[in-house]
Amino acid sequence: MPVRVQAEDFDAGAEILALRRGNPKIGALASFIGLVRDVNNGEPVTGMTLEHYPGMTEKALENIVSEAQSRWDVLDALVIHRVGLLLPTDQIVLVVVSSAHRGDAFAACEFIMDYLKTRAPFWKKEQTAQGTRWVEARETDDRSAERWEKMSPASAAHRPR
Amino acid sequence: MLKLLYFARLRESLGTDSEAVELAPSVRDVAGLMDWLRTRGGSWSEELAPGRTVRVSVNLEMAEATTPVRDGDEVALFPPVTGG
């Protein structure tokens, strides 16, 4: 299963090893880890709670990974996203993509994160000294996702190798 | 019956995370469902006001205003997502 939603922390090294072990076709592996910061919009953040839509979340993430696999030469991909209470420095999300060459791995990894930020049903509620507040969606995230829509799968496949 | 789910800010301001509703005959799509829910007034008409950004999914897929809504569907209403 390339997609996991869990409260538990993850070990990126162990996950990467499990994904690449024994596959000599892999020449490149790109990974991304998102972390909880202690500040947002200039205000100190003491923690956050991640809510999601069980059932739809997994389906949305699987669709995003499938879309990445249809656009680039991806050998394997993994997405782990945590839910529940998280504190500053905690890991939130892991994306790992393996490919024959780095261009496909880099692009697919970034694409998965950009689409996850705008299409997967997760919501963050931050804790601050003033109380809790729901994080507002950012327009910059929409624009990051939109740039892939303008790029046809054919042109996207011709990234540097 | 239609299963309605609410998440995040909407769940809190509407005071419920789910409900089963008998669909009014006038409701055929997502836009119709939103119009119908607005007639409840109070926080419903506020949160679902046309200017507010509310995302809707039908049977676990992101939906648009014209997406059909039928008896037995699972429809969720939520704010724009903020994961990652």
- Interchain contact B3–A (C-beta under 8 A): no
Instruction: List all residues 6 or more positions away from A40 whose beta carbon is below 8 Å from its beta carbon.
Output: A126, A135
CATH number of the domain at B10, please. 3.10.20.30
**Ordered DSSP codes for A3-30:** EEEESS---HHHHHHHHHTT-TT--EEE
Residue B84: inside a domain, yes or no?
A: no
Give which of A3, A51, A9 is closest to A34, Cα–Cα.
A9
Tell me the backbone φ, ψ of residue A17, rounded to 5 degrees: -60, -45
Quick one: average pLDDT of A112-117? Answer: 97
Q: What is the pLDDT of residue B50?
A: 86
Which domain, by its residues, includes B51? 2-78
Is A41 a residue whose pLDDT tops 90?
no
Greater confidence (A60 vs A160) lies with A60
Where b means 16+ CB within 10 Å and e means fewer, A89-111 reads eebbbbbbbbbeeebbbbbbbbb
Chain B residues close to A125, C-beta within 8 Å: 8
Using 50, 70 and 90 to split pLDDT, how confident is the model at A153?
Answer: low
Task: Tell me if A92 and B84 make a contact (CB, 8 A cut-off).
Answer: yes
Chain A residues close to B80, C-beta within 8 Å: 118, 136-137
Instruction: List all residues 6 or more positions away from B23 whose beta carbon is below 8 Å from its beta carbon.
Output: B1, B2, B33, B69, B71
Residue B23: inside a domain, yes or no?
A: yes
Instruction: Enumerate residues 46 to 75 of chain B having a beta carbon within 8 A of any beta carbon in chain A.
Output: 53, 57, 60-62
Q: What is the pLDDT of residue B49?
A: 93
| CA distance, residue A75 to nearest chain B CA (Å) | 23
| CA distance, residue A33 to nearest chain B CA (Å) | 9
- Interchain contact A144–B (C-beta under 8 A): no
| CA distance, residue B62 to nearest chain A CA (Å) | 8
Residue B54: inside a domain, yes or no?
A: yes
- Interchain contact B76–A (C-beta under 8 A): yes
pLDDT digits (tens, 9 = 90+) for B43-80: 999 999 988 899 999 999 999 999 999 999 999 999 99
Chain A residues close to B8, C-beta within 8 Å: 51, 123, 125, 134
- Report residue A34 CA to chain centroid gap: 7
pLDDT digits (tens, 9 = 90+) for B12-53: 999 999 999 999 999 999 999 999 999 999 999 999 998 889
Q: What is the pLDDT of residue A158?
A: 52
Instruction: Enumerate residues 110 to 139 of chain A having a beta carbon within 8 A of any beta carbon in chain B.
Output: 113, 116-125, 134-137
Q: CA A32 to CA A95: how far, in whole Å?
A: 5
The count of structural domains within chain B is: 1
pLDDT digits (tens, 9 = 90+) for A7-16: 999 999 999 9
Instruction: List all residues 6 or more positions away from B36 whose beta carbon is below 8 Å from its beta carbon.
Output: B24, B26, B27
Q: CA A123 to CA A35: how far, in whole Å?
A: 15
Task: Tell me if A93 and B7 make a contact (CB, 8 A cut-off).
Answer: no
Quick one: average pLDDT of A29-58? Answer: 96
Q: What is the pLDDT of residue A24?
A: 98
Q: What is the pLDDT of residue A151?
A: 78
pTM score, whole prediction = 0.92
Tell me the backbone φ, ψ of residue B25, rounded to 5 degrees: -60, -25
CB A35 within 8 A of CB A92: yes
HEC letters along B57-69: EECCEECCCCCEC
> Alpha helix locations (H) across chain B?
8-14, 30-38, 42-47
Q: CA A131 to CA A127: how far, in whole Å?
A: 6
Is A155 a residue whose pLDDT tops 60?
no
